[in-house]
Amino acid sequence: MTDTLIMPADCETMAEVRAGVDATDRALIELLDRRFGYMRAAARIKQDRASVRDEARKAKVISAAVADAAARGLPTDAIGEIWDRLVEASIAYEFDEWDRQRA
């Protein structure tokens, strides 16, 4: 196995593909850690618990992800479902953080 990330178009073996997928998964977790950090910040900043859920913002975030997916030729239905779940998980986490920070 190689230590250098090989881009998908350059992969010649399943070992290279799997190494790339594993590295990408680690990078996604790092990005999710940052995203949830923003949820902690939002919980700290928002003074009203009711403002945690913002349906207009949720729709805008999902729409932007779907549009970006479409521009990249990715499956928009799947991306929409993933982002809906991501945003719902983020909202739940922010509620938990809002409560924890004020306990």
| 18 marked among binding-site residues | yes
Question: Two tokens at 73?
Answer: 């030729």
Give the mean model confidence (pLDDT) for residues 77-98.
98
pLDDT bin (cut points 50, 70, 90) of residue 26 is very high
**Domains and their CATH numbers in the chain:** 12-101 (1.20.59.10)
Average pLDDT score, the chain: 96
**Closest among 87, 69, 86, 89 to 77, alpha carbons compared:** 69
Give the mean model confidence (pLDDT) for residues 23-38.
98
| 35 marked among binding-site residues | yes
Give the mean model confidence (pLDDT) for residues 64-86.
98
The predicted structure's pLDDT at residue 1: 46
| 46 marked among binding-site residues | yes
Whether residue 33 has pLDDT greater than 70: yes
Angle formed by the axes of helices 76-101 and 55-72, nearest 10° = 140
Give the mean model confidence (pLDDT) for residues 82-94.
98
